[in-house]
């Protein structure tokens, strides 16, 4: 079960009336909007962090991949 919290927000009256006429679940729509806003903000923050500290070439990964490609027959483990 996911923990939830109750919150209140202000909605333009005309927009609220339109939502009611369309039988929209305003709480669900608000949740979807907050989820989308959080995802967008996290993406923007990630991009800004990358721009501040961009990745640079690093031979560590070449060595790590080479290590993972060792021949099991040579190890004598037979696994």
Domain boundaries along the sequence of the chain: 15-53
Q: What is the pLDDT of residue 24?
A: 97
pTM above 0.85, yes or no: no
Helix, strand or coil, per DSSP, at residue 13: helix
Are 30 and 9 a contacting pair, CB within 8 Å? yes
Are 26 and 16 a contacting pair, CB within 8 Å? yes
Rounded average pLDDT per 10-residue block, the chain, 79 residues: 89 96 96 97 95 85 68 55
Give Cβ neighbours of residue 26 (< 8 Å, ≥ 6 apart). Answer: 11, 16, 19
Q: What is the pLDDT of residue 60?
A: 79
Instruction: Please give the Cα distance from 64 to 59 (Å, whole number).
Output: 9
């Amino acid at each position: 079960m996911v923990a939830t919290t109750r919150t209140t927000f202000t909605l333009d009256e005309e927009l609220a009336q339109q939502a009611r006429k369309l039988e929209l679940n305003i709480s669900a729509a608000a949740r979807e909007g907050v989820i989308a806003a959080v995802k967008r903000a996290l993406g923007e923050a990630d991009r800004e962090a990358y721009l501040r500290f961009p990745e640079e070439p690093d031979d560590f990964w070449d060595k790590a991949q080479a290590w993972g490609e060792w021949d099991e027959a040579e190890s004598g483990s037979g696994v």
